[in-house]
Structures are given as structure tokens and as C-alpha cells.
Structure 1
Amino acid sequence: MEGRAQNLPHVLRLLLGLVVLSTLMGLLMAGIAIPAIGAGGSATTSGVKAFNDLPSEFSVSPLAQQSKILSADNKLIANPYDENRIIVSLDKISPWMQKAQIAIEDSRFYEHGGLDVRGFTRAMVSNFSSGDVQGASTITQQYVKITLQENALRRDDKDAAQAAVAKTYTRKLQELKYALDVERNYTKEQILAGYLNLVYYGDQAYGVEAAAQNYFGVNAAKLTLGQAALLAGIVQQPTKFNPVINPKQSQARRNAVLDRMQALNLAPVAAVTAAKKQPVADMLGNRKPPKGVCQRSSQPFFCAYMMEYLQKSPQMAVLGKTPAERLKNINQGGLTIKTTLDTKLQTATMRELTAAVPIGNKSNLGAASTVLEPGTGKVLAMAQATDFGDSQLNLNVDQRYGGSQYGYQFGSTAKMYALVTALESGMPLDATVTAPMASPEDSHVFTNKDMHDKCRTDPKGWEVKNDYKSGGTLSLAKMTAESINTSFAQLTIDLGACKVHETMNRMGLHQGDGKPIDTAIPAVALGAGVVTPMTIASSYATLAARGKYCEPTPIESITTSNGKVVKVPPTSCKQVIRADVADGVNALLQGPLYDSRGTAEGSWTVKERPAAGKTGTTNNHNQSWFVGYTPQRAASVWIGNVKPAKANGELLTLNRKTFGSYGYKKSVFGGTVAGPVWGKIMKAATDGLPIVPFTAPSAAVRNGNYVVLPAVAGDSIETATGKLEAAGFKVKVGGRVDSSVREGRVASTTPSAKAPKGGTVTLLISRGYSTQTAQRFTPQPQNTVVVPPPTTPTAGPGPGQGPGPKAKPTKPPKRP
């Protein structure tokens, strides 16, 4: 009796199951909806009503799928995703894969209408025998279940996602009713394709295409019998049958699938036998495991920049209000994002950088370059010679897009902004600046007494050295070509460092964190501030575009998964300096490349194509730059110490390091390696483009707005100062010179005849006349600048000297 009593619940469950099955069969034969589980009589009637009240229309939403980031020539750069999924049509899935999945999951798939009655009956008897809720789900039912879960997850509805896979009769009945609706509205091929694209194959691979690439390094269309059987077997328990972590269990499961295919005559005996012989471990030799989106990109740093730009740029508000919303749309929306990246130029840029700075070098050397299109801001190339696997820090871009907080000191490339400010202030192209002498050994100290505004130095003063002994009265052209530090320090002081700083801001120059360059005069005049290569390239591109600054943009177009074009607002462009001022600066900045004593002479070999630019070298030869442009392209090249200093703050040096194919360099300047690398990158960037000359400077810029100075030669210092100040000029007392004028009186001025109204005039004081000095005194002509004609570049300005006797600079040493 005790044994019979213990078995009574089991017997009652079996009887109840028979009642339910008989009711179910009758309903199916009558073609009506399936009733809910219940006993006979009124319970059955209420169950039928409850079931019929369940929703029956099932909508198949588009699957979350990878977006595509493409180059300008439609080459794949990356596939952003939340789930590693690539949607493919059924004709791009191997027939072996289709057969294997059907064999192991739903062998009567093509025979039923969403419910496999035989399997369902077996499961129901088992359920009522054990008290569990088991499956026997068809592929259609599984498709419904996973789709419901996927849609809930995309809505961030965790409760609905859990309910979609809950082991309850209510959920199973809802799933079954939806399955019947799917079978009525979709073909078997559509259902099978949806399932194969949706199901999880373990190891972060969703859908058969991603799984095929992940495990075997092939497309789903190329899957063999053995590969297909292995994948099909994973679905039931993706972790247990994962071939990477559990190869033995995976192999046993694969063989079970192969046996099932053979039993169903879906695969011949010989093929099955051959497939079984291959160990699972040997099948994974070419696998492409999922990595971070950009780790597996052909251009990882550009990819990382793109992902940050898409989330954070104001231009990308079309993708969502917040970075999180944008990222979700990027990862799940199947967007096609076409970029401005020129893969051919990108390859050339990377080749030239790594020729100078090999990736993985042990010398703390790094290199980076950005190439832009002036007038549009399009990012055409962006490369760096570091290992993405070691560090994802992007040396080219600002912090908000994955770069550093600051960037690197940019040295003498800062001098361009003083030239812009000078011409805007009315200085003519042939203007001169009288500056103190300095050499590598003997610096000149500028003090705050020399400054005219709040952009000053510290109380100790500002020590400025030149690369060789030079100073005195020099033309803008000569001091630009030879990059004379004291001349530009003096020019910046004369103009007002805050005024030059404002020019920097207008032309888009800023630190890596987006803040303005430091206002201290060393940062403004000689580039002690910090910038990134993309920022300074876009700033110099302003000159190439004749004064129009454009924010860099990598976006060409965005389309949705159904081909709809997303309206992306154009990048911000603004005229920030006068076109004729840009023309004048362009003429001056040809000097470093074309002048025989230019700091980058020899870097540009395409003589028929005009180009301009500026070298940059920082203290202790710590970093080196060249930033230059043609009317159609602008590019920056930074080569330097990735870590600028030792732990104690002592600056490291580039001197005596070896630069790849450029070899060992005893002394490193901006024109030593960065200049020649820029020349090769720019040659690739302009190859095939029509030759376009720079616009010749206008007469207004050539002549400036100088006014005639009062005659002060022979006057006392006090009298001369009074006359000049009354005329609206600032006055500075300079050095002593040989002259026939009485000792202590004003011998001459710099400038000698004209100066910008409100500018600074330097008084040169006479030492007194003597026969000996008269014999060696020969007045020198005023400096002039050679302006390039409209169709050909200038050969560069001549050396020239300022008016009156002066200390001659020594000839610069030949740059290594």
C-alpha cells in the first residue's frame, strides 16, 4: 500500500497528460488554436478561452547587427557591434550547415507547421511524468523564443528578456502560438535563415557567419561537412560544446551530429567517416577569434578615433542625444559609415613613418602624422608608429577622441602665428626685426621689462638660444627660413604675445584637452606649449585654404541598414584670417623648404609643385616636427620621445638615436627626419593632383601699412624718444654702432624709414666717428623678400641684411 500511495501522484500526472493530449489533438485536427493546459469540462473550456486570448501576431524585428566602417574607397575598416553578428542570406550559408542544423535540432522541419506533434507528445508525457517543463521545440519555436529575447534586450527590458526564456507552460504556449503565426506568414527558407543568423554559437559569436569566421576563419558559405556539424552541435549548450575550451565534449557532440545526418541520409557514409577522423583541435588552426572592435581592424588607431568621434562629436548628434544612445545605434543598427580615409595614402603614410621609427623600437621613439584636405577638414590619413596592442593611446588626436591630455611641445612651428599677426598688423613682407644675438652656448635673457602685455615670462627671465650664432637686423623672410629664435622672440614681444595667442586661438590651435595654449610667452613665441598632430595640421591647413579654418572630420556619409541616407550636418568652417594675409604667410613659409639655408631645405623634391611649411624642434632636441602644405593638402609629422622626460623631469633627447632607414643622427632638428618624412608623405598625398600655385600676395600685404618715421638721426635719446612717441610709436634703445654721428646720439633706427603705426622702433646709438671705423663702415640695403609668381614657387628669399651696420650672423651649420 505504501508503494502504491507513493506512485499515485505519478499515475495522476500521466492520466492528466492523456486528457490534455487528446484535447490538443482534437483542436489541432479541427484547425483551431491550442488550449491551455487544464482538465476536462469547464476547466478545459476556460483553458481554450485563455489560450485563444493570447496574442498571436508575431512581428520579426530586424536583428541587431554589426555596422560597417568603410574607407573612402569602400574598404572595410571595422565592424562595430554589441553582439558579434554578421547577417547573411540563406544562399550564403553552406548547404552542409543547413542540413546539419536541421538534423540535430528539428529533423521534420520541412514537414510540420510549427509544431512537431510527435516530439511534442513525447515531451508532454515526459513532463507529466517528471513534473518538469521540457522542450521538444522546433526550429520555428526556437526562432520565436530567441527573437523575443533579442528584442527585449534591445529595449533594455531585462524582465521581458527573462520571461522570453522562462520554463513555464504559459511561456511555452505563447511561443507555440507565435510559431504557428510565423509558419503562416513566412517560408521555411526565411525561417531557417532567420534562425541561423540569430542563434548563439558560443565564444561571443552570434549567427553562423560570425561563428564560421570565429572558429575556422572562413565565410559561412565555405563551411565543410565537419565544420558545419561542429557548429550545429554547439547550439544546444554553447559553453559545454565550445570547441575552444572543451574540445573533447565538442568533438563527441560533432560526431553525434554527423551520425544523425548519416541516419537521415543527409550525408554519405564516406564523408561522415572522413569528417570524424579530424580532431577538433586541428579544425581551429585558422580561427579569427573576436577581439575588441578596433583590435581586429586593419587601421586600429583610426578605428578607435572613429568610435570616439561617432559618440562624442557634436556633428554626430544625428545618431542620438547621448554617447550611450549613439553607441547603441552604431553597434546594433547595421549602419554603413563611410569615412574620408584614403587607404592608399594611409598605407604610404604608415610606410614612411615606420621607415623612420620602427614599431616596437626600444629607443622610446614614436611618430605620428595626420593628412587633411584644406577647406573641408576631411581626414585623409592618420597613422602612428606604435603598437595598438601595447597602448591604445592615439598620438594624433585630442583627449576627447582617445588622445592624450596635452600632446607634445611643438617648437618653432609656433612661429607661423607671429607671422600671421605681423602681416595682420600691417608689417610689409620685407619688414625687418632687430633682435639680440644668441648662440647654442650663449643665450639672451628677455625679462618682463621687455614685455608689453600680460603674456609674459617668470621673474627669472626667459633664456633664448639660437641653433647657431645669429641675431641683429633680419628680414621676416630670412628669420623664417633659418628659424632664428631671438628674432621671433623679439617679433612676438613687439607685436604683443597676447595678440599672437589670440591668433592661435582663431586658427584652431589648442592643447590635447581642448584648452587654449598656455599664455606664457615661451609657449606662444617658440612652442613650449603642447598640441597634437591633427590639431596643428588643421591649423596650418587654414593657410592652404587662404584663411578658412575647418574642424577635422572623418565622415563622408552614413546610411541605415535599409539604405536610407542619414543627413549629417557639414563640418564647421570659418574664415578666420584674411585671404591676402594667408597669401603673404604662404610666401614666407616657402623659405624653410626652398631657401638654400632653410631649415628643411631638401625635404621637398617635387620642385614643380609649390609647398610651404615650418620645422619645429623643442628644448634639448626632445621632439621634432614638420608641418606643411600645398593648396590641396596639409600634413603634420611628429617624431619624438613618446615619454618626454625621465622620472625626475629631465628632458630626454633625440640626439644620437637611430631612426630606421634614416640611420644614426648626432643632432636632431625638425628638418633632420620629420621634414624628409613629411616630404615623402606629401608627395604621396598630392600624386595625381593638378599642380595648383599659391596665390601671389597682394600689393597691400607686400607694402603693409607702414608710415614714415620722424627724422631722429643726431638727436639725443630723449629727444628722439619724444618725437617717436608723439608720432604714435613705441621706443626701445638698442645697441651701439659705428657712425659719424656724435657719440651717445642716435645714429639710426630700426626700422630705418617706415614702421607700422603703433609699432616699436629701436634706437641705435653712435659710438662716435673715427677714420678706422669709417673705412669699415658700409651701409647695407634694406631686406627684400622674393614673392613667388602665380604659377611657380619661389626659390626662397635671399639672405639680405638690415639697414646700417650690424653684427653679422655666422653661417648656419649644415643640418644633419
Structure 2
Amino acid sequence: MDGRAHNLPHVLRLLTGLVVLSALMGLLMAGLAIPAIGAGGSATKSGVKAFNDLPSEFSVSPLAQQSRIVDASGKLIANPYDENRIIVTLKNISPWMQKAQIAIEDSRFYEHGGLDVRGFTRAMVSNVSSGSVQGASTLTQQYVKITLQENALRRDDKEAAERAVEKSYTRKLQELKYALDVERNFTKEQILTGYLNLVYYGDQAYGVEAAAQNYFGIPASKLNLGQSALLAGIVQQPTTFNPVLNPKQSQTRRNAVLDRMQFLGMATAKDVAAAKKVAVPAMLGNRKPPKGVCQRSSEPFFCAYMMEYLQKSPQMAVLGKTPAERLKNINQGGLTIKTTLDPKLQRTTLTELTKAVPIGNRSNLGAASTVIEPGTGKILAMAQATDFTKSQLNLNVDQRYGGSQYGYQFGSTAKMYALVAALESGMPLDGTVNAPSASPEDPHLFPVEDMKDRCNAQEAWPVENDYRSGGVMTLAKATAESINTAFGQLVIDLGGCKVHEVMGRMGIHQGDGKPISTSISSITLGAGVATPMTMAASYATLAARGKYCEPTPIASITTSNGKAIKVPPAACKQVIRADIADGVNLLLEGPLRDSRGTAEGSWKSSRPAAGKTGTTNSHNQSWFVGYTPQRAASVWIGNIKVAKNSRGDLTTLNGKTFGTYGYKKSVFGGTVAGPVWGQIMEAATAGLPVVPFTPPSERVKNGNQVPLPDVIGDSVGTATLKLEGAGFEVKVGTRVDSGIEEGNVARTSPSTRATKGMTITLFISRGYQETFAQPRTQTRTQTQSQPRIRIQVRPRTTSTPEPTVVVPPPTGPKPKPTKPGKP
């Protein structure tokens, strides 16, 4: 009696369980249209009604799956995902894998209609006797449960996701009814395919294809018996049976699956024994564990740019209204995003950059290049010589797309914009500029009062030339040789804000998207900052004869079922006149073609090309940006960190070694950046037809200049009145040697013609002029080694003065006349 009394609660649970089981079986059989055996009465009727009232139509939404970002040839660049999942068909899943999963999860899968009555009955008895609620779910029921959870998570409905997996009879009944609906509407093969693509295999691998690649580095179609058993065993407890974290437990579980397959006749004893001999750690030798989307990409920097671009570019509104909505569609939608990246050109670009700047160098050196198609904005290459694992900063692009806040100072590449402004103002192609003389040791100071608008300097602006240079020179010479004082004078004459406005039209901006600084040094000599992509796109405007296009990496986007998503083209706009661009193109051929060009020797092809070098203060950064009519490219090579020494000076590139280019005592834009650009552009234009630049129009060649009033010999006041009356601005320049009366205008710059509104510089006579003579008995060789005799000519108001010999030249008050020396 004591024993029976002790077991009374257990007996009562069994009796209660039998009643519940009877009612459940009754309603289930009724729902299945199968005669209810051993069930009847009001409990069964009410149960059947409750069961029939449950929703029955089960919709299978497309699974969240990886999208594909591919290059222009279709080669995979990256698989963006929330869940590491790759959808495959059943024919691409190994038969061993199909058998293993069925063996361990639902061996009667092909026999039941969604409910395994035998297993269900056994589980119910166990549940009522133990007071728990547990499984006996068929594979179809598991598929329903995981699908409901997945769909809820995709809707961001956390409550629904929790209800989908809660342990309750209500949930099990709903799951069962849905399973019956699935079995009525789908084939066993479709259900098995959905299940194998859906379930979680641990280690961030969702679905059998991702799991096979993650653990074994092979596709699911290649899984053998042992590998299949290992994966199938993980599903029940993905953490406990994770072979990476818990190889012993995983091996025990694998062997249990193998035994089950042998018991069911799915595998021979010999095959099972052979599979068991392989230790789990040895099975994982070729695994490809998931990393960050771009860390495992073949083009990590471009991948990172793409992920930002897809979320943030206005062009990508087709993927969603907000960045979050777009990212969800990208990660879960199974999209194929074809980019404009040319894989062959991309490889060449990286190769040429790393020849000059090895990745991982210890000299603080970096290099970056972007290649763009003029007229479309298509990004054909984007590479940089840095290590993605150490820094994900993209040197090519703006901050919003993963780049730096500013970019880098772009040096004399800025001079191009002054040329555009000059030709737009009516200056002829053969126009001249009077460049103040300057050298590295003796800079010229441009006074603040000469600067006509708010784009100026706060104090006198010192400008050096790379060597002693100055005087009246053509635009072509000033451009080819990159004479700083010539462009300083030109920008001041034009007005700095006019040039700044041209920069904005042509797409120049800082890395943070803000306009370039309005300081005269930023506008004229590139003290402002920008990124390589920005510079390439801006120069591409000239190649496209004045049409600026925003850079775009998108060729096409298609959905998982192959439907094309209509992507708007890149925004393009004609920002300068075509004939103005033609004129600038002709001038910018000089740096590459002229014998004294700053990039002479960088372009060995006979194909027409143009561009401009850029070097910053202290030789801290160097650039070359250039183009042909079909391609445009920028190359930046410089200090990644714009460091300063203890004196506050910028770290120089001088004295550093540039890979295969060797040690460079002095580094300019044409020293390394120019030749690297040349190699990249050779690859970019290979196979393209040779297309010449369009010759400048007569209108651009001649400009719209008008004759200047004759002011030579006039007083400053009279000359100013004449010039201002003719529509020019006037400034007084330096005093010069001249036969004109002292204090009067000796000459002007420009000298005879100018565009209305331009600033005319008056050069004032000192009242004497100097010429040089040599003793008649000297030979040419002697002339080169002996001092010359300076002859000073002083004007008189009534007659021509006699020459006088002056040695040495005057440095203070005018010297008194002396008798001429002997010939």
C-alpha cells in the first residue's frame, strides 16, 4: 500500500494524460479526415471545432538570403547578408546530406502527411507523465516553426518570433495544422529543400550551403557521408554540437547520426566505419569561416564603398526610403548588384600602385587611384596601397562613403580651374600673364590690396616657384611648367571667387562634402583638400567636353527571381561650354608633351592625353590627374598621416624610397605619381580606338579681348582714367627700367589686348634703362667668363641721351654719368 500511495501522483498524471491524448487524437484525426479511434463525446467535438477554427493557410515567404555584389564581368566581389545563407536547389545538395538529415530528424518523412502519429503518441505520453511539453515534430513541422520565426524576424516582430517557438500545446496545434497545409500544397522534395536551406547549423551558418562552405570549404553538392552526418547532427543543438567549439560532443553526435543511417539502411556498415575513423578536427582543415562581409571580399575597399553607397546614395532610393530599409533589402533580398568595376583594370591599378608604395611599408606612405569613364561617371577601378585588416579607411572616397573627413591637399592640380575661368572670361589661348619673379629662397609677396573679392588672403601672400622664374609668359608655358606666380597673378586678375565658382561647378569639394576653402592659396595652388575620386570625376569633365557626371559604381540590380530593378542613371550636367573644355584640353597636353613639362616622360603613348601634376607644401603629397577622351584617372601618392615634425613642418616625401621607383631626393607630382598614372592609363585605354581631342574653336582661340587704350608715357592718373573708362580695372605694379620719363607708365600687362573687366597692371618707369655691351676684342668664350659692361640710357625730354657706362649696376640713388669706356 505504501508503494502505491507513493506513486499516486504519477498515476493521476498518466490518467489525465490519457484523457488529454484521447481528445487531441480525436480532433487531429478529425482534422485529417481519418476515423477517430477511441475518441468521442463532447470533449472531442469541442476539440475538433477548436482545431478547425485555427488558421490553416500557410504562406512560405522567400527566405532571407545573401545578395551578390559582382564586378563588370560577373565575378563575385561580396555577399552582403544578415544571415550567412546561400539558397540552393535540392539537386545541388549531396544525397548523403539529404539522407543524414532525414535519418536523424524524421526517418518516416516520406511516409507521413505532416504528422507522425507514432512519434506524436509517444511524445504525448512522455509529456503528460513528466509534466513537460516536448517535440516529436516532423521535419515538416520544424520547417513550419522555423519559417514562422524567420518571417516574424524579417518583419521586426519580436513577439511573433517568440510565439513561433514557445513551448505550448496551442503553438504545437497551430504548427501541426500549418504542417498539414504544407503537405497538401507542396511536394516532399520542396519541403526538404526549404528545410535544408532554412535551418541553423551553428557558427553563423544558415542553410546547408553556407554550412558546407563554413566548415569544410566545399559546396553542399560535394558533402560526403561523414561531413553530412556531422552537419545533420548540429541542428538539434547548434551550440552544443558546434564542431569548432565542441569537437568531442560534435563527434559523438556525428557517430550517432551514422549509426542511425546504418540502422535505417541508408549507409553500409563499411562506409559508416570509415567515416567514424576521421576525427572531427581533421574534417575542418579547409573551412572558410564567415568574416565581415568585406573582410572576406576579393576587393575589400571597393566592397566597403559599395555597402555605404548602396545605403546612402540618392541614386539608391530604389532600394528603400531609408538607409536601414535599404540595408535590410540588400542583406536579405538575394539581389544581384552588378558593378562597373573592370576586374582586369582593377588588378593593374593595384599592381602599379604597389610597385611604388608597397602595402605595409613603414614610411607612412600611401597611394590611391580612381579611374572613371568620362560622360557616364562609371567607376572602372578604385584601388589603394594599404592593408584593409589594419585600417578600413578608404582613401579614394568621401567621408559619407567610408573615406576621410577631408581628403588630401591637391596642389597644382588646382591650376586647371584657373585656366577654365580664364578662357570663360575671354582670355585667348595664347594669352599672357606677367608672372612675378620668385624662387624657393625668394618668394614673391602678393599684397592683399591686389585681391579684388572675398576669396583672398588675410595678409601678404608669399608664393614660391620651384626654381627662379618670372616675367611675361603664355598660358601654355605657365601650365606646362606649372609656374606658381603666373597662376597667382592670373587668379588675382580674374578674381579668386570666379575660380572658386568654377571649382564648385566641376564637382570639387572636401571629403566631408563641403566646398573648398575660399582662401586664395586653396583656390590657386591647391592648399584645399579633396579625394582622388573627386579629382578624377572633376577632370573627367574636360574629357567629356564640359559634362560633369557624379561617380557611380552601379551597372544593374536584379532581384532573386531575375527581375531588373530600374536604377536611375548617374546625374550628369553640362557645367562648362564644350569649346572652353577643348581649349583647356589643349593647354593641359603641355605638362605631358612639352620638353619642360612637369610630367614629361610619364606618357609614352602616341594617344592624345592631358593632365596636371600637383605637389603640396614641403612636398608632403603628390598627384597626377589626367585623361584621354575616353578615360580619366587620378593618382595620389603621399603621407597617409599628414604629420609634422617638432618644428611644426609638414613631413616631406623627399628622401623616401618608392618601391621599384627607388630613392627620390626630391618628390614632385611628376616624379612618381605621373609615371604610375601613365602605366594605369596605358591599361585603361588598351584596345580602345584612338580618339583625338576636339580642336578649340576660333572663338576660344581668339578670346573676346578688345584693344587697350594707349597709355604708354601717361601719368598713372591719366592711364587709370583711360583704362577704367574702357571697362578695365587697374593696379600699379613695380618700377621698371625704361626710356620713358620717370614716374610715367612704361608698359602694361596685358600689353595690347585684354578682356573687359580684367585687371591691367601698370609698370612705372624708373627714368632710365640698362643695356649690356661687351668689349669688341672678347671672344664668345671670354664673354661667358668675363663681366659684362652695363650701359645706362637716361631719357631727356628734348633729345636722345648719350649712353654712359656704369659699373657696377645701381643699387641706390641713380649714379652720375661717366665717360664711355673704350671699345
- Normalized against structure 1, the TM-score is what? 0.92
Q: What's the CA shift for 1:490?
A: 0.8
Q: What is the match of residue 455 of structure 1?
A: 455
Relative to structure 2, which stretch is displaced further, 218-227 or 443-452? 443-452
Q: What's the CA shift for 1:527?
A: 0.4
Higher relative contact order, structure no. (Cα contacts within 8 Å, ≥ 6 residues apart): 1
Q: What is the match of residue 100 of structure 1?
A: 100
Q: What is the match of residue 11 of structure 1?
A: 11
Asked if 1:145 is matched to 2:145, the reply is: yes
How many positions carry a matched residue from both structures? 776
CA distance in 1, matches of 2:433, 2:790: 21
Asked if 1:252 is matched to 2:252, the reply is: yes
- What amino acid does structure 2 have at the position aligned with 1:424? E
CA distance in 2, matches of 1:115, 1:39: 18
Q: What is the match of residue 46 of structure 2?
A: 46
CA distance in 2, matches of 1:567, 1:110: 44
SS across alignment from 2:380? strand
CA distance in 1, matches of 2:512, 2:721: 47
Q: What is the match of residue 640 of structure 1?
A: 638
Aligned positions of 1:500-579 closer than 5 A = 500-579=499-578
Alpha-carbon distance change, 659 to 15 in structure 1, aligned in 2, over 3 angstroms: same
Q: What is the match of residue 157 of structure 1?
A: 157
Asked if 1:285 is matched to 2:285, the reply is: yes
Alpha-carbon distance change, 545 to 391 in structure 1, aligned in 2, over 3 angstroms: same
Relative to structure 2, which stretch is displaced further, 108-117 or 189-198? 108-117
Q: What is the match of residue 714 of structure 1?
A: 713
- What amino acid does structure 1 have at the position aligned with 2:760? V
SS across alignment from 1:114? coil
CA distance in 2, matches of 1:173, 1:767: 108
Q: What is the match of residue 362 of structure 2?
A: 362
Q: What is the match of residue 306 of structure 1?
A: 306
Q: What's the CA shift for 1:5?
A: 4.0
Q: Is the 8 A contact 2:29 2:35 kept in 1?
A: no
Relative to structure 2, which stretch is displaced further, 362-371 or 740-749? 740-749
Q: What's the CA shift for 1:627?
A: 0.4
Q: Is the 8 A contact 1:34 1:177 kept in 2?
A: no
Q: What is the match of residue 440 of structure 2?
A: 440
Q: Is the 8 A contact 2:25 2:39 kept in 1?
A: no
Q: What is the match of residue 583 of structure 1?
A: 582
Asked if 1:202 is matched to 2:202, the reply is: yes
Q: Which structure has the larger Rg? A: 2
Q: What's the CA shift for 1:645?
A: 1.4
Q: Is the 8 A contact 1:27 1:34 kept in 2?
A: no
Q: What's the CA shift for 1:28?
A: 5.9
- What amino acid does structure 2 have at the position aligned with 1:692? V
Q: What's the CA shift for 1:287?
A: 0.9
CA distance in 2, matches of 1:506, 1:346: 29
CA distance in 1, matches of 2:393, 2:10: 66
Q: What's the CA shift for 1:692?
A: 0.6
Relative to structure 2, which stretch is displaced further, 718-727 or 318-327? 718-727
CA distance in 1, matches of 2:654, 2:74: 42
Asked if 1:705 is matched to 2:704, the reply is: yes
SS across alignment from 1:426? coil
Aligned positions of 1:370-769 closer than 5 A = 370-459=370-459, 461-607=460-606, 609-646=607-644, 649-769=648-768
CA distance in 2, matches of 1:114, 1:636: 63
Q: What's the CA shift for 1:406?
A: 0.5
Q: Is the 8 A contact 1:217 1:288 kept in 2?
A: yes
Q: What is the match of residue 784 of structure 1?
A: none
SS across alignment from 1:115? coil
Q: Is the 8 A contact 1:547 1:576 kept in 2?
A: yes
Relative to structure 2, which stretch is displaced further, 443-452 or 399-408? 443-452
Q: Is the 8 A contact 2:27 2:45 kept in 1?
A: no
Relative to structure 2, which stretch is displaced further, 614-623 or 649-658? 649-658
Alpha-carbon distance change, 733 to 538 in structure 1, aligned in 2, over 3 angstroms: same
SS across alignment from 2:556? strand
CA distance in 2, matches of 1:683, 1:93: 46
SS across alignment from 1:13? helix
Percent pairwise identity: 80
Q: Is the 8 A contact 2:28 2:48 kept in 1?
A: no
SS across alignment from 1:562? coil
CA distance in 2, matches of 1:3, 1:496: 108
Q: What is the match of residue 66 of structure 2?
A: 66
- What amino acid does structure 2 have at the position aligned with 1:631? P
Alpha-carbon distance change, 5 to 765 in structure 1, aligned in 2, over 3 angstroms: same
Q: What's the CA shift for 1:52?
A: 1.2
Task: Give a deviation string over 1:535-565, Cα, whole Å, max 9, x none.
Answer: 1111111101101111111111111111211
Alpha-carbon distance change, 216 to 647 in structure 1, aligned in 2, over 3 angstroms: farther
Task: Give a deviation string over 1:565-623, Cα, whole Å, max 9, x none.
Answer: 1111121111110101000000000000000000000111111x100000000000000
Q: Is the 8 A contact 1:27 1:33 kept in 2?
A: no
Q: Is the 8 A contact 1:333 1:561 kept in 2?
A: yes
Q: Is the 8 A contact 1:373 1:380 kept in 2?
A: yes
- What amino acid does structure 2 have at the position aligned with 1:646? K
Alpha-carbon distance change, 349 to 771 in structure 1, aligned in 2, over 3 angstroms: closer
- What amino acid does structure 2 have at the position aligned with 1:579? A
Task: Give a deviation string over 1:307-328, Cα, whole Å, max 9, x none.
Answer: 1111111111111111001111
Relative to structure 2, which stretch is displaced further, 94-103 or 40-49? 40-49
- What amino acid does structure 2 have at the position aligned with 1:614? K
- What amino acid does structure 1 have at the position aligned with 2:224? T
Q: Is the 8 A contact 1:369 1:383 kept in 2?
A: yes
CA distance in 1, matches of 2:107, 2:358: 57
Q: Is the 8 A contact 1:543 1:585 kept in 2?
A: yes
- Normalized against structure 2, the TM-score is what? 0.92
- What amino acid does structure 1 have at the position aligned with 2:674? G
Q: What is the match of residue 178 of structure 1?
A: 178
CA distance in 1, matches of 2:678, 2:225: 54
Task: Give a deviation string over 1:363-406, Cα, whole Å, max 9, x none.
Answer: 11111111111111111111111111111111111111111111
Q: What is the match of residue 792 of structure 1?
A: none
Relative to structure 2, which stretch is displaced further, 196-205 or 563-572? 563-572
- What amino acid does structure 1 have at the position aligned with 2:118? R
Task: Give a deviation string over 1:437-459, Cα, whole Å, max 9, x none.
Answer: 11111111223112111111123
CA distance in 2, matches of 1:382, 1:29: 65
Q: What's the CA shift for 1:767?
A: 3.7
- What amino acid does structure 1 have at the position aligned with 2:343? T
CA distance in 1, matches of 2:29, 2:332: 42
CA distance in 2, matches of 1:201, 1:685: 45
Q: Is the 8 A contact 2:26 2:39 kept in 1?
A: no
SS across alignment from 2:633? strand
Q: What's the CA shift for 1:33?
A: 6.0
Task: Give a deviation string over 1:246-293, Cα, whole Å, max 9, x none.
Answer: 111111111111111112121122221121111111111111111111
Q: What's the CA shift for 1:177?
A: 1.1
Relative to structure 2, which stretch is displaced further, 556-565 or 760-769? 760-769
CA distance in 2, matches of 1:93, 1:263: 23
Alpha-carbon distance change, 647 to 39 in structure 1, aligned in 2, over 3 angstroms: farther
Relative to structure 2, which stretch is displaced further, 462-471 or 2-11? 2-11
SS across alignment from 1:626? strand
- What amino acid does structure 1 have at the position aligned with 2:193? A
CA distance in 2, matches of 1:153, 1:34: 36
Task: Give a deviation string over 1:692-744, Cα, whole Å, max 9, x none.
Answer: 10000000000001110111222222322222222222222233444332333
Task: Give a deviation string over 1:44-89, Cα, whole Å, max 9, x none.
Answer: 3212211111111111111011111111111111111100000000
- What amino acid does structure 2 have at the position aligned with 1:541? A
- What amino acid does structure 2 have at the position aligned with 1:162? E
- What amino acid does structure 2 have at the position aligned with 1:489? G
Q: Is the 8 A contact 2:333 2:559 kept in 1?
A: yes
Asked if 1:343 is matched to 2:347, the reply is: no
